[in-house]
Amino acid sequence: MSTVVLLTLTGLGLAALYFLIASGLSLVFGLAGVLNFAHGLFLSVGAYATWSVAGSWGLLPAMLLGVAAAAATGALVELVLIRPLYTRHTEQVLVTVGLSLAGVALLQSVWGADARVFPRPAWASEVIGVAGAQVPADRFLLIGAAVLVLLGLLAFLRYTRYGLVIRAGVENRAMVSALGIDVRNAFTLVFAIGGALAGLAGILGGMYFSAISPGQGASLLIFAFIVVVIGGLGSVAGAAAAAVAVGLLQQFVNYYGTAGAGDVSVVVLLSAVLLLRPAGLAGKVATA
């Protein structure tokens, strides 16, 4: 029983990480139609910005800086690189892939290729007893952050004007323009939100793995893309459900199966969803 509890909470912690990355990725693709391979760069910017000043500023202010830096990077990438390419999908892919590779190379050139120990609050290193299992406290930090982000995003999408524009734009952005709305502002906003969430994921991921490295963003991005596809493009709630499914499946199969089987099982799940429900768990409807 204690093993199941530990695996469940560890899987949910991993799911929280995937959700934080995938939710922004999903909104960007759902609204703007951009497959953003540079999303992992936002994660790394958040993590490295936090790591670089945490020693002098303290962890919490450093985290705020990291999130802000990642959000600004997201907005800047949209304004400078993506905006001229909205009708040119091949070039979009080339630019975002190139940016991702250049970002990793830049991080390596400045801070080296080795992993860096990431700071964490003392309480996050403790363990908490749950139904006989000794669960690291950082799992609860990740899960709590993801739940707050999910609720915040749903409230933003449901109750704000920009949320309304984003939900409508995910369905039919040409019609949003035909109602007199400059949908490009919403594009910039979702890139900034996606960047902020990825930056937060980078910071929490640093605490979860106790380290950050230049390639961390790119490796987590693969599973985030799978979560986006399983959840349904443009759906925040779908991304949350898919992240939970992927995180739990990975943990349980890795423990009860052979090493590495967890990753294979995620690909099998992706294949099954694509065959049985090609639009994903939630289809292409934001928040639903």
Partner 1 sequence: MILRVNDLSVRLGGSRILQGVTFDVAGTGVTALLGRNGVGKTTTLRAVLGEVPASGTVEYDGRPVLGRATHKLVRDGLAYVPEDRCVFAGLTVAENLRLAERVPDPDYDLVHELFPELKTRAAQRAGTLSGGQQQMVSIARVLLNPNRLLLVDEPTKGLAPAVVTAVAVVLARVAERVPVLLVEQNLAVVRRLATDAVVLEAGRTAWQGRAADLLGDAEATRSLLGVGSTAGRH
* Long-range CB contact pairs, 161-164, < 8 A, 24+: 162/186, 162/189
Spatial distance between the Cα atoms of 202 and 118, rounded to a whole number of angstroms: 11
**Residue of 181, 261, 264, 279 that binds partner 1 (CB under 8 A):** 181
Nearer to partner 1, 130 or 181 (CB): 181
CB of 239 to partner 1, least distance (A): 16
Characterise 132 by phi-psi region: left (phi > 0), alpha (psi -120 to 50), beta (else).
Answer: left
Spatial distance between the Cα atoms of 132 and 55, rounded to a whole number of angstroms: 36
Question: In 10 A of CB 206, how many CB atoms?
Answer: 28
Nearer to partner 1, 177 or 219 (CB): 177
CB of 282 to partner 1, least distance (A): 10
CB of 241 to partner 1, least distance (A): 17
Residue 179, interface with partner 1 (CB under 8 A)? Answer: yes
Looking at the DSSP bridge assignments, the partners of residue 130 are 133
Pairing of the two strands 127-130 and 211-212: unpaired
Mind giving me the DSSP string for 107-172?
Answer: HHHHH-SS-EEPP--GGGGSEEEETTEEEEHHHHHHHHHHHHHHHHHHHHHHHSHHHHHHHHHHHH
Report the largest interatomic distance among the alpha carbons of the chain, rounded to a whole angstrom: 58
CA angle 91/95/97 to nearest 5° reads: 115
Number of residues that bind partner 1 (CB under 8 A): 20
Tell me, residue by residue from 137 to 176, as one string, x for binding to partner 1 by CB under 8 A and - for no binding: ---------------------------xx-xx--xx-xxx
Token couple for 166: 């984003």
Nearer to partner 1, 121 or 278 (CB): 278
In three-state secondary structure terms, 211 is strand
CB of 74 to partner 1, least distance (A): 23
Residue 180, interface with partner 1 (CB under 8 A)? Answer: yes
| DSSP-H helix ranges across the chain | 2-27, 39-57, 59-77, 89-111, 137-159, 161-177, 183-209, 216-231, 236-256, 261-276
CB of 175 to partner 1, least distance (A): 5
Nearer to partner 1, 146 or 166 (CB): 166
**Residue of 2, 125, 134, 177 that binds partner 1 (CB under 8 A):** 177
**Residue of 178, 259, 275, 276 that binds partner 1 (CB under 8 A):** 178
Residue 286, interface with partner 1 (CB under 8 A)? Answer: yes
Residue 131, interface with partner 1 (CB under 8 A)? Answer: no
Nearer to partner 1, 27 or 142 (CB): 27
Nearer to partner 1, 1 or 179 (CB): 179
CB of 230 to partner 1, least distance (A): 19
Residue 183, interface with partner 1 (CB under 8 A)? Answer: yes
Residues that bind partner 1 (CB under 8 A): 164-165, 167-168, 171-172, 174-183, 285-288
